[in-house]
Structure 1
Amino acid sequence: MKKVFCFLTLGLMLGFSSCSSDDDVLSNENDTARKSSGLTSKSAVTDPSIGTTTTLNLTSSLLSSGTSTTGGKYWENTYVANTNLTVDIFKFSHSATSEGYNYWDGFIVSNVNDITNYGSAGSGGSNNWVANQWGAMAGSGFGTSSTVTPGTPGTTGDPYIVAYWSSYLDPESPQGSTFSEANFSNWIKIGNTGSYKVEGLKINIHPWPYYGCLYGDGFASAFTSGDHFELLIYGVNASGVITSPIVHSLANYTGSSLVMPTGWINVNTSNLAGLGNVKYLIFQMASTDSHPDYGMNTAAYFCLDKLSVKRIN
């Protein structure tokens, strides 16, 4: 779903964030027009020793100054340009503006426990989603106590990552090409100079596409037999070459059944191993409900947690 989609939705999320012309492979630290390294600074991440496994650990401190909303908080820098979310050895892409309108893409952190269907109200069927785009259908990060009830404000659990994919930048089918941070909306840089094997990753469907696939939302159509919605995950090797993607299903209507798990789901570990040793992960999305010019009608959001990697060299 491109930025054009967001413009048609509300006129709040139009336009393009500025991009760098820096084409350096695997080294875009000066690409400040689009990204900056670290949460608030440009300090380099230090690689752990070879053989060390690191698992993404999202703590409540990441949201100590977060923006309050129904059911929790989301990252304070969501609409701040030239900021990246950096946690442990993971640097998450992020682009934003608040000049005249609010827009963001890439990754943010949230602990919002709200799974309301905001697509059922308002003109056009999806107008209320932009103000309420911070949730995960699981209701909280992976591993939160079972006493946390999704959709019940006041029982917010562990933080998790919310991602919005804006496809206007991304080349289609990029496997085999050379990676540059400035050319992709959603990427995660792992460590500094090392290469890593991806050992685990948990994915959760976001409420906006969940209800859009189930009921439609004014842009998205309710899924019928044969429809599907998935997340594509690419790796980038030490030479800067993008691997073939692995595909993780978010929604799949086969026969008479629409399958959309609402809990955290493990990405197939053997598929993750097939990415090889990587320095970056790239995320794209695909849906059978798409416009030939404007991209996906299905809302291009997903959630992730517990990314686990082992340093190889």
Structure 2
Amino acid sequence: MKKVVYFLTLGLALGFSSCSNDDAVLSSESANSVVNNSSKTAKTAVTDPSIGTTTTLNLTSSLLSSGITTTGGKYWENTYVANTNLSVDIFTFSHTGTSAGYNYWDGFIVSNVNDITDYGSGAGPGGSDGWVPHQWGTMAGSGFGTSTTTTPGTPGTSGDPYIVAYWSSYLDPVSPEGTTFSESGFSNWIKIGDTGIYSVEGLKINMHPWPYYGCLNGDGFAQPFASGDHFELLIYGVDENGTITDPVTQTLADYTGSSLVMPTGWVSVAANKLQALGNVQYLVFQMASTDSDPMYGMNTAAYFCLDKLSVKRVY
């Protein structure tokens, strides 16, 4: 709730500015009661490949040909547009957006921003307002397998696109495994194909700069991690009956012993973890952190990045 009050307040201050002004970009944990989930009803025609075909997410520069220019690259032009899901290959990524009075988004967008600066020292309430116009990066600096030489953190230099995700923790039910999935009930989901069923063969995950520096230094909401703290991505499947599977867990930050471990490069989620999801129609993503309030949820910024999702049609 601290974040809700902060971003609603900041939204009133910034929302009357032009939506094309990058300094007026607003996104983080705003009140979902204000935004609602109408964008999740958007449909895009997708054709399933033949049984046995493996499809790997291929993010091309054309996805950002009309993107919004910011420090170090571009992000998706529809980030703040309602009723727009992101569709790439056979994958449909959930997305909620609005620019009515203030800017808000959750779900997934595409970016090629190469900026890993720590913006967590803002002077406004909460100390996180420096992140508001700079929430588009990944600690690797570029998508997985960038063909050009890209040094992370070099403003004005961009590499291959990748997916940025923001999880709206105020929307999702806690521990949803065993329940029935609906698109409108979850912030971050990926639909695979149309009516086919798929096994998940591969996935690359990367740390987003906001939670990275929040775990390292704090950001006004988040506290610097200490021994015993951890931050994780939870990945659920949805089977052919619409039932949500038990999650697999991918650690993003872990303070074990005397050191904080946070990989900055792309990390492959272990194949045996992904296979444990079984055969699925959707993937659902949630997050967890030891830096959390029992009533208001995570203080750690709820962002992560992904690339090279690979699936095989089973039937």
Name the TM-score, length of structure 1 as normaliser: 0.91
| Separation of aligned partners in 1, 2:157 and 2:176 | 41
The answer (yes or no) to whether the contact 2:71–2:156 under 8 Å persists in 1 is no
**Aligned CA distance change for structure 1 residues 57 and 6 (closer, same or farther; 3 Å):** farther
| Distance across 2 between alignment mates of 1:118 and 1:307 | 29
Please name the residue that 1:18 is paired with: 36
- Equivalent of residue 157 in structure 1, options 151, 156, 159: 159
Q: 1:104 maps to which residue?
A: 105
Name the counterpart of 2:128.
126
SS of the residue corresponding to residue 197 of structure 1 reads strand
Question: How far apart, in 2, do the equivalents of 1:5 and 1:277 lie?
Answer: 41
Conservation of the 8 A alpha-carbon contact between 1:3 and 1:166: no
2:262 to 253, 260, 263: 260
Change (3 A) 1:253 1:2: same
Q: Using the TM superposition, give the Cα deviation of residue 36 of structure 1 relative to its aligned residue in structure 2, in angstroms.
A: 4.0
Asked if the contact 2:86–2:92 (Cα under 8 Å) also holds between the matched residues in 1, the reply is yes
State the distance in 2 between where 1:207 and 1:87 align.
24
CA contact (8 A) 2:252 2:262 kept: yes
Mark the CA change 1:178 to 1:2 in structure 2 (over 3 Å): closer, same or farther.
farther
Q: Which runs of 5+ in 1 are unaligned?
A: 20-32
CA-CA distance at 1:77 after TM superposition: 0.2
Q: Which amino acid aligns with 2:97?
A: A
The residue type paired with residue 107 of structure 1 is F
User: SS of the counterpart of 2:131?
Assistant: helix
> Structure 1 residue 121: deviation in Å?
3.5
Counterpart Cα distance in 1 of 2:294 and 2:8: 16
What is the CA deviation profile of residues 128-169 of structure 1, one whole-angstrom value per residue up to 9, with x for unaligned ones?
101100000000000013620001023210000000000112
Q: Residues 6 and 137 of structure 1: is their aligned pair in 2 closer, same or farther, counting only changes over 3 Å?
A: farther
- Of 184-193 and 138-147, the range deviating more from structure 2: 138-147
CA separation of 1:101/1:70 partners in 2, compared to 1, >3 Å: closer, same or farther?
A: same
Q: Secondary structure at the match of 1:161?
A: strand
Structure 2: which 5+ runs fail to align?
12-25
Q: Sequence identity of aligned pairs in percent?
A: 76
Following the alignment from structure 1 to structure 2, what is the Cα–Cα distance between the partners of residues 5 and 61?
37
Q: How far apart are residue 6 of structure 1 and its match? A: 5.8
Q: Which residue does the alignment assign to 1:171?
A: 173
> Secondary structure at the residue paired with 1:35?
helix
Aligned residues of 2:39 and 2:85 also touching (Cα < 8 A):
no
Q: Which runs of 4+ in 1 moved over 6 A?
A: none
Partner residue in 2 for 1:83: 84
Q: Distance in 1 between matches of 2:90 and 2:148?
A: 29
RMSD: 1.6
Cα distance in 2 between the residues matched to 1:303 and 1:79: 18
Report the count of equivalent residues: 296
- Asked if the contact 2:8/2:31 (under 8 Å) is kept, the reply is no
Q: Which residue of 1 aligns with 2:222?
A: 220
**Corresponding residue number in structure 2 for 1:35:** 40
What is the CA–CA distance in structure 2 between the aligned matches of 1:63 and 1:293, rounded to whole Å?
Answer: 38
How far apart, CA to CA, are the structure 2 residues paired with 1:240 and 1:217? Answer: 38
Q: Secondary structure of the residue that 2:187 maps to in structure 1? A: coil
Q: Please identify which structure carries the higher helix content.
A: 2
Q: Secondary structure at the match of 1:131?
A: coil
Query: What pairs with 1:1-313 in structure 2 (closer than 5 Å)?
Result: 4=4, 7=7, 10-11=10-11, 12-13=26-27, 14-16=30-32, 17-19=35-37, 33-37=38-42, 42-123=43-124, 124-145=126-147, 147-313=149-315
